[in-house]
């Protein structure tokens, strides 16, 4: 296989490799008589991507250049990391690259990418072939009852409202609207989860055909990757899907040079209507917490007399002293555990969870906070500073200064 790709199309190839890198760690390449196929699969085998470049995408194309048989082409698997190193910063490749030559070195079992840049600069990347095999996924896209064609901007803006922690998205397709919401597992704590739901009307899409109303759930990571790919190429997105459990196919193509298929596995939600289940579950959780709180309060204060429990229920301030008779506590303990000998030392009482701690002594608290209630300013403690000796002149100066200071709002010193 040997082909030449012109500069503007190199940018498309680079963005394709970066989009496939968000799906899988290995890139499968296969050359056919009229096209080249790039494929990848994620580790969980729940997302598959295939991009087909037609013959007119290349300025020169020969699928069996190094082969002796007429119908034999290239089938190989390479590392996705090596492909990313070849196509760094694809957004600027159309301004720097004039031509890209891709060919196979049969003797070294390497795939060669030779990038010819401006000013005579040539960059050559040798990528090791890991295996000589192809991969094919089985799915259908033509006989499905539900087909939607949407501008990528609408779905991208809708998906931007979701949280970064959301792993899956649920699409509920009805006759006149499409509802997107984040998937929430029933085992999660619903009080700590943000629910997001967006309703898109039929008029917002280029074409909207729902033959069978259904609800599907798929991963959000790969969904974002294909939306970024469609946004970079400024192309609409086609969605073909059936019922729950069948794969959903997303198609991006320009109709002439290339076509990309992104296939995502779908799963069924635990509860058909997650919005209703959330409300019911939240009510159940509130009632459970209320019952648990009542039980906990009853455990903390068992068999206390009304006057003691009343004191414990009141909000005690710093100097709101509560005196609980020790005899009442002793009698309650003896009635509950009459068959046991309990030491009523102060240390044992403090260690018992069922008996509240004794309040601090009134005198001790008063002694600790005694200085807080003392006056911080005493005019009598200020010592008069004599600036001049007692004399007739000094007395007149002091009296004159006192008069001026007392009426300083009417007079000013020269």
In a domain, 14, yes or no: yes
Binning the chain into helix, strand and coil, the percentages to the nearest 5 are: 35, 25, 40
Q: The CATH number of the domain where 17 resides is what?
A: 3.70.10.10
Whether the per-residue pLDDT at 205 is higher than 90: the answer is yes
Most confidently modeled range among 138-147, 280-289, 302-311, 324-333: 138-147
How many angstroms from the chain centroid is the CA of residue 405?
A: 69
Nearest to 322 by CA among 311, 314, 332, 330: 311
**Contact predicate 228/132, CB 8 Å:** no
Choice between 305 and 62, residue whose per-residue pLDDT is larger = 62
CB 191 within 8 Å of CB 273: no
Do 263 and 182 share a domain, yes or no? yes
Measure the CA–CA gap between 188 and 405, rounded to whole angstroms. 75
What percent of the chain is predicted at pLDDT more than 70?
62
Domain check: are 177 and 109 in the same one? no
Among candidate residues 277, 295, 321, the one where a domain is terminated: 277
The model's confidence at residue 102, banded by pLDDT at 50, 70 and 90, is very high
What average pLDDT does the segment 158-179 reach? 90
| pLDDT band of 323, cuts 50, 70, 90 | very low
Residue 220 has pLDDT above 70, yes or no: yes
Confidence check: pLDDT of 378 > 80: no
| 278: exposed, middle or buried (Cβ count in 10 Å: 0-12, 13-18, 19+) | middle
Query: Is the confidence at residue 159, as pLDDT, over 70?
Result: yes
The verdict on 184 and 226 lying in the same domain is: yes
Q: Which residue has the tokens 């699969």?
A: 41
Instruction: Answer whether residue 48 shows pLDDT above 70.
Output: yes
Do 118 and 178 sit in the same domain of this protein? no
Question: Which tokens is 272 given?
Answer: 């058909």
Q: Would you state the pLDDT for residue 331?
A: 56
What is the C-alpha separation between 247 and 273, in angstroms, rounded?
21
Report which DSSP code applies to 248. E
Check if the beta carbon of residue 38 is closer than 8 Å to that of residue 136: no
Q: Is residue 243 part of a domain?
A: yes
Alpha carbon distance 133, 74 (integer Å): 9
Question: What pLDDT is recorded for position 367?
Answer: 60
Burial tier of 365 (Cβ tally within 10 Å: 0-12, 13-18, 19+):
middle
Residue 319 is predicted with a pLDDT of 37
Range from 108-122, 278-292, 362-376 that averages highest in pLDDT: 108-122
Contacts of 33 (CB under 8 A, 6+ apart): 63, 71, 73
In this structure, the answer to whether residues 369 and 331 fall within a common structural domain is yes
Same domain, yes or no, for 159 and 113?
Answer: no
CA distance 52 to 39: 9
Residue 403 has pLDDT above 80, yes or no: no
> Mean of the per-residue pLDDT values for the chain?
75
Residue 138, domain member (yes or no):
no
Q: Which two tokens stand for residue 334?
A: 């003896």
Number of domains composing the chain: 3
Does residue 11 share a domain with residue 122? yes
| CA Rg value for the chain | 41
CA–CA gap between residue 184 and residue 348 (Å, rounded): 49
Domain co-membership, 124 together with 155:
no
- 331 plus 230 within the same structural domain: no
What percent of the chain stands above pLDDT 90?
Answer: 39
Beta bridge partners of residue 238, listed in sequence order: 149, 251
- For 255-298, write each residue's pLDDT tens digit: 889 999 999 999 865 544 454 344 444 444 555 555 555 455 44
SS3 assignment, position 250: strand
Range of the domain at 346: 304-373
Residue 394 in domain: no
Residue 147: per-residue pLDDT: 95
Mean pLDDT value across residues 235-244:
93
Q: Is residue 175 part of a domain?
A: yes
How would you class 40 by CB atoms within 10 Å of its CB: exposed for 0-12, middle for 13-18, buried for 19 or more? buried
Output the pTM of the full model.
0.64
Torsion of CA 179, 183, 189, 195, to 10 degrees: -30
pLDDT digits (tens, 9 = 90+) for 15-37: 999 999 999 999 999 989 899 99
- Same domain membership, residue 250 and residue 150: yes
Residues 197 and 92 in one domain: no
Q: What are phi and psi of 406, to 5 degrees?
A: -70, -20
| Residue 234 predicted with pLDDT over 80 | yes
For residue 173, the model assigns a pLDDT of: 93
- Residues 296-305 have pLDDT tens digits of 544 444 444 4
Pairing, β 35-41 against β 47-54:
antiparallel
139 assigned to some structural domain:
no
With 0-12 / 13-18 / 19 or more C-beta atoms within 10 angstroms meaning exposed / middle / buried, residue 30 is buried
Q: Does residue 220 form part of some domain?
A: yes
Shared domain for 355 and 233, answered yes or no, is no
The predicted model gives 396-404 an average pLDDT of 50
Q: Output 354 or 208, whichever has higher pLDDT.
A: 208
């Amino acid at each position: 296989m040997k082909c030449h790709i012109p500069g503007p199309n190199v940018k498309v190839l680079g963005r394709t490799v970066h989009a496939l890198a968000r799906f899988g760690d290995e890139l499968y390449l296969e050359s056919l008589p009229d096209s080249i196929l790039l494929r990848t699969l994620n580790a969980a085998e729940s997302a598959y991507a295939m991009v087909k470049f037609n013959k007119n995408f290349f300025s020169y194309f020969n699928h069996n250049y190094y082969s002796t048989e007429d119908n034999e082409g290239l089938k190989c698997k390479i590392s996705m990391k090596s492909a990313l190193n070849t196509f760094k910063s694809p957004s600027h490749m159309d301004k720097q690259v004039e031509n890209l030559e891709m060919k196979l070195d049969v003797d070294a079992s390497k795939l060669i990418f030779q990038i010819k840049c401006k000013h005579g600069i040539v960059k050559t990347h040798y990528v090791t072939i890991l295996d000589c095999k192809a991969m094919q996924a089985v799915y259908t896209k033509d006989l499905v009852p539900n087909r939607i064609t949407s501008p990528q901007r609408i779905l991208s803006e809708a998906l931007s409202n979701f949280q970064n922690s959301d792993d899956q998205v649920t699409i509920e397709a009805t006759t006149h609207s499409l509802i997107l919401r984040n998937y929430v597992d029933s085992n999660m704590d619903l009080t700590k989860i943000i629910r997001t739901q967006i309703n898109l009307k039929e008029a917002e899409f280029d074409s909207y055909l729902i033959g069978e109303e259904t609800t599907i759930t798929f991963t959000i990571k790969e969904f974002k990757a294909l939306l970024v790919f469609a946004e970079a190429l400024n192309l609409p997105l086609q969605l073909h899907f059936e019922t729950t459990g069948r794969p959903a196919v997303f198609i991006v193509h320009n109709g002439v040079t290339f076509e990309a298929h992104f296939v995502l596995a779908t799963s069924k939600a635990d509860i058909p209507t997650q919005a209703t289940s959330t409300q019911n579950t939240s009510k159940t959780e509130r009632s459970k917490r209320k019952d648990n709180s009542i039980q906990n309060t009853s455990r903390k204060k068992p068999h206390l007399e009304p006057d003691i429990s009343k004191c414990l229920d009141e909000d005690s301030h710093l100097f709101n002293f509560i005196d609980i008779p020790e005899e009442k506590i002793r009698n309650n303990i003896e009635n509950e555990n009459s068959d046991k000998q309990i030491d009523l030392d102060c240390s044992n009482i403090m260690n018992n969870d069922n008996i509240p701690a004794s309040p601090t002594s009134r005198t001790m608290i008063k002694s600790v906070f005694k200085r807080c209630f003392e006056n911080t300013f005493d005019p009598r403690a200020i010592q008069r500073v004599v600036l001049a000796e007692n004399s007739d002149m000094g007395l007149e100066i002091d009296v004159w200064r006192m008069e001026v200071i007392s009426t300083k709002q009417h007079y000013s010193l020269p």
